């Protein structure tokens, strides 16, 4: 039996031949990606670096990295203070996540296409898309105009972006529910709230928990940055003071390690939660 000739845009999957069709969308996407790749590669060579001594710059950079990550130490603050500031950062992330998750649940129930009318779902989806398109730091700074720089603006900005993120995640999990269960409840005379409490929550609770904790991890990272950008306090503010005010690279390295350890612990907890709940889904 003769082997099939190698044809362009032909792929094998599970023993079956799949022919990929070239469309205008795929062609445009490839052109955009290759253009961005070329700009990324060529761009650094087109910048004006002035009279930089690259050997000296590289030596200083390596020296700073050595002080930060190979010689970390607490100088201006103590270990107890650092742990307390990390606790503040976690509290900011937790508050923004919890408030955002509660609001997101109800918005997701109204934006899921199998639970709500199309016009209402489209309005919520469009609004959330706009909110997600704006970075969290900009929302924090916008709220800072009203509430002033600090923890309040930080929580409000993170909460708004959390709502837009979790609403989409929750709604997609709601739309994957068994249609037979929903139709059976409707046939038995159940109203919209009965369907939500007796079908949506039991079948999607594992996904809700998983997505919520994933967003909590993200909010922790954002809260570290907002501690400096929005003067919200926490370990991010201490990192800003050590790097910009005291210029103590030894302390910058130690604070970075502390924040990194907490992030790793959160990731480990997230993995255990996913295995425990999604394994039962």
* Domain encompassing residue 234: 74-278
**Which region, left, alpha or beta, applies to residue 108 given φ > 0 means left and ψ of -120 to 50 means alpha?**
alpha
DSSP state of 54: H
Q: What is the pLDDT of residue 13?
A: 53
- Is 204 contained in some domain? yes
| Overall number of domains in the chain | 1
- Is 205 contained in some domain? yes
Inter-CA distances, 57 with 48, 54, 111, Å = 15, 5, 53
Question: If residue 25 lies in a helix (H) or strand (E), which one and from where to where?
Answer: helix 24-46
Q: What is the pLDDT of residue 1?
A: 46
- Is 144 contained in some domain? yes
Mean pLDDT, contiguous 10-residue spans, the chain (281 residues):
49 58 83 93 84 86 89 86 91 94 92 85 91 89 85 91 93 82 76 80 85 92 85 85 86 91 90 72 51
Q: What is the pLDDT of residue 201?
A: 84
The CATH number of the domain where 132 resides is what? 1.10.3720.10
pTM for the model stands at: 0.78
- Is 58 contained in some domain? no
Beta bridge partners of 17: 12
Q: What is the pLDDT of residue 6?
A: 46
- Is 34 contained in some domain? no
Inter-CA distances, 21 with 5, 8, 15, 28, 279, Å = 18, 10, 19, 14, 37
Helix spans in 48-200 (H): 54-69, 79-111, 118-133, 136-147, 151-175, 179-187, 192-195
Q: What is the pLDDT of residue 16?
A: 62
Query: Residue 125 has which token pair?
Result: 């989806």
pLDDT digits 0-9 by tens, 8-54 = 555 555 556 666 667 888 888 999 999 999 999 998 888 887 788 88
- Is 99 contained in some domain? yes
- Is 7 contained in some domain? no
Cβ neighbours for 209, distance < 8 A, ≥ 6 positions apart = 273, 277
- Is 24 contained in some domain? no
């Amino acid at each position: 039996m003769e082997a099939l000739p190698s044809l362009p845009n032909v792929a094998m999957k599970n023993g079956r031949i799949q022919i990929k069709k070239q469309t205008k969308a795929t062609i445009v996407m490839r052109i955009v990606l290759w253009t961005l790749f070329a700009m990324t590669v060529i761009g650094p060579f087109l910048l004006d670096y002035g009279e930089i001594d690259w050997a000296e710059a590289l030596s200083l950079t390596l020296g700073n990295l050595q002080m930060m990550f190979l010689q970390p130490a607490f100088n201006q603050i103590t270990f107890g203070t650092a742990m307390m500031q990390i606790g503040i950062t976690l509290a900011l992330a937790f508050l923004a996540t919890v408030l955002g998750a509660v609001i997101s649940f109800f918005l997701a129930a109204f934006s899921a296409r199998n639970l709500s009318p199309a016009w209402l779902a489209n309005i919520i989806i469009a609004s959330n898309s706009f909110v997600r398109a704006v970075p969290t730091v900009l929302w924090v700074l916008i709220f800072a105009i009203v509430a002033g720089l600090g923890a309040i603006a930080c929580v409000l900005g993170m909460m708004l972006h959390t709502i837009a993120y979790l609403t989409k995640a929750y709604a997609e999990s709601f739309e994957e529910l068994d249609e037979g269960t929903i139709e059976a409840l409707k046939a038995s005379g159940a109203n919209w709230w009965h369907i939500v409490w007796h079908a949506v929550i039991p079948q999607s609770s594992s996904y809700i928990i998983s997505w919520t904790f994933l967003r909590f991890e993200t909010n922790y990272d954002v809260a570290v940055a907002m501690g400096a950008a929005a003067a919200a306090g926490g370990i991010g503010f201490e990192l800003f003071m050590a790097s910009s005010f005291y210029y103590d690279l030894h302390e910058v390295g130690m604070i970075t390690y502390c924040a990194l350890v907490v992030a790793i612990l959160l990731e480990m907890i997230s993995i255990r939660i996913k295995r425990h709940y999604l394994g039962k889904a």
